[in-house]
Amino acid sequence: MYKKVSTDMNFVGREKEVEAFWKEHDIFQKSMEEKEGCPEYTFYDGPPTANGKPHIGHVLTRVIKDMIPRYRTMKGYKVPRKAGWDTHGLPVELEVEKLLGLDGKDQIEGYGLEPFIDKCKESVWKYKGMWEDFSSTVGFWADMEHPYVTYDNNFIESEWWALKQIWDKKLLYKGFKIVPYCPRCGTPLSAQEVAQGYKDVKERSAIVRFKVKNEDAYILAWTTTPWTLPSNLALCVNPSETYVKVKAADGYVYYMAEALLNTVLGKLAEEGTPAYEVLETYVGKDLEYKEYEPLYQCAADSAEKQHKKAFYVTCDNYVTLTDGTGVVHIAPAFGEDDANVGRNYELPFVQLVDEKGDMAAETPFAGVFVKKADPMVLKDLDERGLLFDAPKFEHSYPHCWRCDTPLIYYARESWFIKMTAVKEDLIANNNTINWIPENIGKGRFGDWLENVQDWGISRNRYWGTPLNIWECECGHMHSIGSIAELKKMSDNCPDDIELHRPYIDDVTITCPECGKQMHRVPEVIDCWFDSGSMPFAQHHYPFENEDLFKQQFPADFISEAVDQTRGWFYSLLAISTLLFNKAPYKNVIVLGHVQDENGQKMSKSKGNAVDPFDALETYGADAIRWYFYSNSAPWLPNRFHGKAVVEGQRKFMGTLWNTYAFFVLYANIDGFDATKYTLEYDKLGVMDKWLLSKLNTLTKTVDEHLANYRIPESARALQDFVDDMSNWYVRRSRERFWAKGMEQDKINAYMTLYTALVTVSKVAAPMIPFMTEEIYQNLVKSVDASAPESIHLCDYPEVQNELIDEKLEADMDNVLKLVVMGRACRNASNIKNRQPIGQMFVKAGFDLPEFYQEIVADELNVKNVKFTDDVRDFTSYSFKPQLKTVGPKYGKMLGGIKAALDQLDGNAAMDEINETGSLKLDINGQEVTLFKEDLLIDTAQIEGYVSENDNGITVVLDTNLTEELLEEGFVREIISKIQTMRKEAGFEVMDKIKVTYKGSEKAEAVFAANGTQICSEVLAVSAEKAEPAGFVKEWKINGEAVFMGVEKEGR
């Protein structure tokens, strides 16, 4: 006996039991152990940070990253799945600052670096338990017992080895550059970090009057960062564009680009007075070295101290005429283009902003944060008559990806990895990767590589991998590549040295050049270098596990969200290219972001964020997994919608579960045990052979899709098969399961359905691991002690190609088409399926053997199905012009064409189209030729017949009903109503009953004439005309009143 199956949809409770079973029996561990010695398929897990809670987007990443390894395990691979934790960096520091009530670097250092680092170490494990529970609940299998942790000494030592390799290749350098800088965190950021923090903001720009020296004229220059104006040292024009000197209607003389005159000065025009008069015309180069008066004295004083010339016009091609005035202001300390101009013209270096982002004491805005200084600068210039305009504009501005502070571009000394030197290798290695979808690799990611910048690797922070460079006052620098090397060169390195600040800061080494003590530079490195080093650092390579690393590099598969194109996907490729000149992963599925049901980004502040734990508790893991697999391509934005999750659960999981429950119910009634029988193909009927053919086609199809990472396609194939199995095979075979005894036909039905349920469960196991485990345990393990302990220890089903019969599947597809079209005819004529119909005519490009015709007749409750080449006696055709094609060709004749089409003999016109491929019309003496694509063709109904036409197939139902047909329909309605009453009365499937009835003369006559048939269909021992007893109900059938009662026999 199989365990009785509840038909309720409480999947959550059952999933918890399965989860406990996996844990208790170490199923994940066994799935790894049993594949020892098998070929390896390597998966890298992008490490989350355990100091933040999981969100609903993590469910998507977890279920994709779980499903592919499960599938590959079933295909005979050993799939190592080492979990990892990303533990360094600003996110952790900010969390600890908040916890301790600190604000900024000064307060951190006042608190003490050592206790601060200890708190960071604690903080990274804050939600570890929550992440582990979350992963277990969602069915994500990974080795959580032995994870890699980026703050471990071994991990850091491997990174030091990598950095030393890069140093030895002369690709790690210190440079004074303009860097994106977070003044709140006091550290530069990398280009990939900057890319993650852009926000659309509305701000005021400034069009400023710069007074030309020794001339009553002004140069109009534009800037979007007014706070940089106190550091202005030059103006810049495009050397080859046209510039003009104009007398403006506001009384000033201006220099600016000719192309932008109307945009900037147009508003000065008044009736009868033009906005400006052109006095002279130049090319930009003519204005080079034209001097102007300093905007702010603080910049002039600073320039004078450096004995360098400033405050003149420079030229550079980067200046465009798309907006502004065609003249830009130059502050070399605050922009890459500005810095380049500064270098080219040997301008002085003036940086009147401190490292906290506050305006310097020398400025009139001392101590004010730069963004707050913007309106103050505008006000000051306006009061001095130097502000022409301050137009509002909206633009995308970078903010710190962690603390949300606006970034500034700031000149400072930083450490860089020369990615520009390996650009071609990066591109070549990227071209070896299978990106899913392809356009991300070629587009978004490929474009990023085409414009690659040197990687700003250093951070002026505390909690991170220390940069492994020691400096000597003699100028010599040395990179340490291992703890052993450090101890060899140092006389004060503790045996148990921890590779973190502040401990490593105290360790000095002896300078090989001059013999003095060298000190480590103060920076730590970008935490993206940590996660990008995981392919080798997780194994402590090259210090140990060399073979293991080589075996598991590169990864066969990785997957994360689309924002990782500039995060983990990039850092992995960058480091792998620098060290091994090889792509670190072969296949990558890029995931879209999970949005709310309206397509909006989820956020706590909007109140539209979905708690993943609530969602899992409400719907269950399998339902959410299935939703993400089947809803859309994984790389598209995914709208998370509870109703859609429930609908997917009902359509696929509910259908599979109910089919399984159906099998168990009848197998238990009959005492059927699948282990006692074999499936004998030669003894099977057509329906059985069809289902087994579809089953093996499914197994093959899903295997091909998953092998090529086509996830929605796999889900669709599974859903279609389960629908066919339940709503066609089981429905068509019900009476076989209800038959008495255990004849061969019944055994065939049981064995076919059993085989299909077990096989489809194995095929679906990687996707819905909980439900399939439950089905397997009951159908297989409960009756076969020698079977694998879990469905996840089974192999993926072997395809039995000899059972695939394409002709049989095609014939059944045609049957299903005819049934669908026949049902549409019934719906159109408002005739229920229980009402028999005399004739159905089919015109199609195929014929069906008698067996299939009988299925169509039975399904549609039709007495006779007739295939014919001519249905013109029952149907005609109507035609309308296809406006998209006919309109452009015939325009004004369209009305005439419509009228002519309305007058056609539909069948004759259809014959003409079939014979010649076109239809010729005479429109007011002019011949018009219309092809099939020019026409909207529909079937026209003839009274007494209803037809449907689709892709060359026409189905016609004869809706003329005889008295005999009407009576038979009445009987079927009575049977249906009694079956409903049995269910509502709570009777068991095999309970025998007694039926009592009374009603109209017609109803009683039908009962009396057909009592034997009615009793046989409803498991009744009698049907008597009497006062209804037991469970009683009144019905209206075909307009006739009927009272019926049902009660169990023997009451």
pLDDT one-digit tens code per residue, 849-875: 888 899 899 889 999 999 888 887 787
Q: What does the pLDDT read at residue 1051?
A: 56
Residue 703 is among the residues annotated as catalytic for this protein = no
Catalytic choice (401, 470, 568, 657): 568
- Find the mean pLDDT for residues 822-845: 90
A 10 A CB-CB count for 141 gives: 24
Give ranges for CATH 3.30.2320 in the chain. Answer: 963-1048
The per-residue DSSP string of 140-179 comes to: ---EEEEEEETTSHHHHHHHHHHHHHHHHTT-EEEEEEEE
State how far Cα 452 lies from the chain centre.
Answer: 26
**pLDDT tens digits for range 666-695:** 999 999 999 999 998 999 999 999 999 999
- Within 352-490, strands assigned E span 387-389, 392-398, 408-417, 434-436, 455-456, 458-459, 469-471, 477-479
Residue % of the chain over a pLDDT of 70: 99
* Residue 880, beta-bridge partner list: 936
Distances (CA, A) of 973 to 219, 787, 860, 966, 980: 93, 47, 15, 11, 11
Residue 601 is among the residues annotated as catalytic for this protein = yes
Is 651 within any annotated ligand binding site?
A: no
Catalytic choice (66, 86, 454, 530): 86
| pLDDT of 483 over the 90 cut | yes
Catalytic choice (470, 528, 626, 1035): 528
* Residue 207, beta-bridge partner list: 222, 389
CATH assignment of 633-795, among 1.10.730.10, 3.90.1150.10, 1.20.1560.10, 1.10.3720.10: 1.10.730.10
Q: What does the pLDDT read at residue 605?
A: 63
- Structural contact between residues 953 and 819, judged by C-beta atoms closer than 8 angstroms: no
Helix or strand holding residue 579 (H, E): helix 568-580
Q: What does the pLDDT read at residue 192?
A: 65
Give CA–CA dist 1051/1049, Å, rounded: 6
Instruction: Using DSSP, state whether 615 is helix, strand or coil.
Output: helix
Helix or strand holding residue 1047 (H, E): strand 1040-1048
**pLDDT tens digits for range 629-663:** 998 888 888 777 888 888 888 999 999 999 999 99
For residue 105, name the pLDDT band (cuts at 50, 70, 90). confident
Q: What does the pLDDT read at residue 194?
A: 78
Phi, psi of 329 (to 5 degrees): -90, 145
252-256, 405-409, 664-668: which range is least confident on average?
Answer: 405-409
Q: Please give the radius of gyration of the chain, using alpha carbons only, rounded to the nearest integer.
A: 39
Q: Do you find a cis peptide bond into 147, omega within 30 degrees of 0?
A: no
Phi, psi of 395 (to 5 degrees): -150, 170
Closest CA to 293 of 314, 308, 307, 312: 312
| pLDDT of 231 over the 60 cut | yes
Q: Do you find a cis peptide bond into 542, omega within 30 degrees of 0?
A: yes
Give ranges for CATH 3.90.740.10 in the chain. Answer: 202-394
- Structural contact between residues 749 and 688, judged by C-beta atoms closer than 8 angstroms: yes
For residue 604, name the pLDDT band (cuts at 50, 70, 90). low
Closest CA to 222 of 380, 339, 329: 329
- Provide the token pair at 411: 């000149």
Alpha helices in 649-685 (DSSP H): 655-670
- Find the mean pLDDT for residues 1003-1015: 93
- CATH architecture for the domain at 875-941: 2-Layer Sandwich (3.30)
Give CA–CA dist 693/458, Å, rounded: 61
Give CA–CA dist 558/570, Å, rounded: 13
Mention every residue, 6+ apart, whose C-beta is less than 8 A from residue 177. Answer: 336, 339, 411, 412, 414, 416, 456
Residue with tokens 């009953």: 993
Mention every residue, 6+ apart, whose C-beta is less than 8 A from residue 602. Answer: 55, 56, 57, 594, 595, 596, 608, 609, 610, 640
- Structural contact between residues 418 and 454, judged by C-beta atoms closer than 8 angstroms: yes
Give ranges for CATH 3.40.50.620 in the chain. Answer: 34-161+547-627
- Structural contact between residues 597 and 640, judged by C-beta atoms closer than 8 angstroms: yes
Give ranges for CATH 1.10.730.10 in the chain. Answer: 633-795
Alpha helices in 384-444 (DSSP H): 423-430, 438-439
CATH assignment of 963-1048, among 3.30.2320, 3.40.50, 3.40.1350, 2.60.40: 3.30.2320
Q: What does the pLDDT read at residue 603?
A: 66
**pLDDT tens digits for range 494-518:** 999 999 999 999 999 999 989 999 9
Residue % of the chain over a pLDDT of 90: 66
Give CA–CA dist 961/945, Å, rounded: 11
β-pair type (313-315, 387-389):
unpaired
- Structural contact between residues 791 and 773, judged by C-beta atoms closer than 8 angstroms: yes
Give CA–CA dist 653/726, Å, rounded: 12
> Is the backbone of residue 24 left (phi > 0), alpha (psi -120 to 50) or beta?
alpha
Give CA–CA dist 959/946, Å, rounded: 7
For residue 940, name the pLDDT band (cuts at 50, 70, 90). confident
Residue 47 is among the residues annotated as catalytic for this protein = yes
pTM summary value:
0.81
Residue 596 is among the residues annotated as catalytic for this protein = no
Q: What does the pLDDT read at residue 61?
A: 87
Give CA–CA dist 554/434, Å, rounded: 13
Looking at per-residue pLDDT, the higher value among 838 and 914 belongs to 838
CATH assignment of 34-161+547-627, among 3.30.429.10, 3.40.50.620, 3.40.50.720, 3.90.230.10: 3.40.50.620
What average pLDDT does the chain have?
A: 91
Give CA–CA dist 921/905, Å, rounded: 12
**pLDDT tens digits for range 513-570:** 899 999 999 999 999 999 999 999 999 999 999 999 999 999 999 999 888 888 899 9
Q: What does the pLDDT read at residue 954?
A: 86
For residue 424, name the pLDDT band (cuts at 50, 70, 90). very high
Give ranges for CATH 3.30.720 in the chain. Answer: 875-941
| pLDDT of 599 over the 80 cut | no
Catalytic choice (98, 213, 442, 601): 601
- Provide the token pair at 544: 């140990």
Residue 568 is among the residues annotated as catalytic for this protein = yes
β-pair type (875-881, 935-941):
antiparallel
Mention every residue, 6+ apart, whose C-beta is less than 8 A from residue 631. Answer: 638, 644, 648, 712
* Residue 931, beta-bridge partner list: 918
> Is the backbone of residue 5 left (phi > 0), alpha (psi -120 to 50) or beta?
beta
The per-residue DSSP string of 838-875 comes to: EEEEEE-S----HHHHHHHHHHHTEEEEEE-S--TTTE
For residue 884, name the pLDDT band (cuts at 50, 70, 90). confident
61-70, 249-258, 267-276: which range is least confident on average?
Answer: 267-276
Q: Do you find a cis peptide bond into 398, omega within 30 degrees of 0?
A: no
Q: Do you find a cis peptide bond into 554, omega within 30 degrees of 0?
A: yes
* Residue 866, beta-bridge partner list: 841
Q: What does the pLDDT read at residue 127?
A: 86
Catalytic choice (604, 676, 884, 892): 604
CATH assignment of 202-394, among 2.60.120.330, 3.40.50.620, 3.90.740.10, 3.40.50.300: 3.90.740.10
Catalytic choice (564, 595, 853, 941): 564
For residue 180, name the pLDDT band (cuts at 50, 70, 90). confident
Residue type, 983: K
- Find the mean pLDDT for residues 997-1015: 93
Catalytic choice (47, 294, 466, 836): 47
For residue 28, name the pLDDT band (cuts at 50, 70, 90). very high
